[in-house]
Amino acid sequence: RAKTAGKNRYEFYTQEMTDQAFERFLMVGALRNAIENQQFVLHYQPQIDLRDNSIIGAEALIRWNDPQMGTIPPSRFIPVAEKTGMIQNIDRWVLNTVCHNIHQWQQQGYRVPRVSINISARHFGSNILADEVAAILDHHHCSSELIELEITEGVIMNNPSRAGKELKQLRDMGIRLAIDDFGTGYSSLSYLKTLPLDRLKIDQSFISDIPGDKNDQAISRAIIALANSLGLEVIAEGMETEQQRQFLIEEGCFHAQGFLFSKAVPEHSFLALLKKV
Ligand code: C2E
Ligand code: MG
Ligand code: MG
Ligand code: MG
């Protein structure tokens, strides 16, 4: 019996692994087609100044609509894209699309705020990012002050000296740099004083249980104080409630993005929020 059970378990495992491998295999093929077949779209989530509800920026967030699989959230396909090297193509598509949009919006007379773009760890470490970004900005006649790149702490810790060089190149081009999901990664704080950074994004996991969770309050308060005293900007992610808004204002964090104001919306809905020049 034991032998049979063991054998069944073994078969179960291999079947599961085969399914996973097969899913990844399908996903890679599908990802490859997605760019060509225009199955990706960008949504934009406004970033708000809490003091007057004005829009100070937006984060570009990718969405994938596959005719067979439906809408696939980035949490499912970005990790696969990172493991298979497809992420460079995706990041490049996002950069091109944002720069193209910014230029178009300006031509249409909109007062365009800065747009934040997520850059994956793998792409960041590649040493070609700065040149690539420069070429894309140039191609679309997009001004670098309107672009912010978001990277995570892990990117910096992987190779601090290389990260420093790449960040400096980008900063010299006039591009703003933010640390995404701040406080969730493996990191040392010493890089904050040496690297050319512009802002910290407080991860939504520290915001979502405010005001109930005193520890999250303490951590958020500490991040805000750290940013303020280092002369970095700070923005809270995932602000969903009026109480969280109150907390952030009281603690001196005046910028936020979250469902309380707006989720990430399609381009036309985002434009409806902007003013004309
Ligand atoms: P992220 O960069 O930290 O993006 C913030 C995520 O929080 C987004 O999820 C956004 O929709 C969600 N969010 C914003 N406000 C709220 C809120 O009030 N409540 C809740 N519950 N969620 C909120 P999304 O769009 O599913 O993206 C997930 C992650 O996928 C992103 O985390 C980012 O790491 C990655 N990602 C998304 N778009 C791109 C992209 O274009 N390129 C790359 N490389 N990664 C991307
Ligand atoms: Mg982000
Ligand atoms: Mg984040
Ligand atoms: Mg994230």
CA 169, 172, 175, 176 dihedral sign is positive
pLDDT of residue 91: 94
Q: Report which ligand 1 atom has the smallest distance to the Cα of 60.
A: 41
Which one of the ligands is nearest to 181 CA?
Answer: 3
Q: How far is the CA of 120 from the centre of ligand 3 (A)?
A: 12
Looking at the DSSP bridge assignments, the partners of residue 176 are 148
The CA distance from 73 to 75, in Å, is 5
The CA distance from 133 to 126, in Å, is 13
Q: Which residues, 6+ apart, have CB-to-CB distance to 208 below 8 Å?
A: 216, 238, 240
Q: Report which ligand 1 atom has the smallest distance to the Cα of 43.
A: 25
The CA distance from 98 to 1, in Å, is 61
| Residues near ligand 1 (Cβ within 6 A) | 45, 60-62, 73-75, 78, 91, 94, 118, 120, 180-181, 204, 237-240, 257-259, 264
* 43-47, 53-57, 155-159: least confidently modelled range: 155-159
Q: Which of 73, 48, 70, 72 is nearest to 59 (CA)?
A: 48
Q: Which percentage of the chain shows pLDDT scores above 90?
A: 68
What pLDDT digit, counting tens, does each position of 72-115 carry?
Answer: 899 989 988 988 888 999 999 999 999 999 999 999 999 999 99
pLDDT of residue 19: 73
The CA distance from 268 to 277, in Å, is 17
pLDDT of residue 2: 44
Geometric angle at alpha carbon 173, from 274 and 74, rounded to 5°:
55
Q: How far is the CA of 236 from the centre of ligand 1 (A)?
A: 13
* 40-54, 180-194, 234-248: least confidently modelled range: 180-194
Q: Report which ligand 1 atom has the smallest distance to the Cα of 259.
A: 18
Range of 76-85, 136-145, 190-199 with top mean pLDDT: 136-145
Closest CA to ligand 1's atom 43: 118
The CA–CA distances, whole Å, from 77 to 40, 104, 132, 159, 270 equal 12, 28, 23, 25, 24
Q: With 90 as the cut, is the pLDDT of residue 44 above it?
A: yes
Q: What's the mean pLDDT when you consider all of the chain?
A: 90
pLDDT of residue 251: 97
Q: How far is the CA of 180 from the centre of ligand 2 (A)?
A: 5
Confidence of residue 154 (pLDDT cuts 50, 70, 90): confident
pLDDT of residue 277: 82
What pLDDT digit, counting tens, does each position of 205-247 carry?
Answer: 999 999 999 999 999 999 999 999 999 999 999 999 999 999 9
pLDDT of residue 68: 84
pLDDT of residue 1: 42
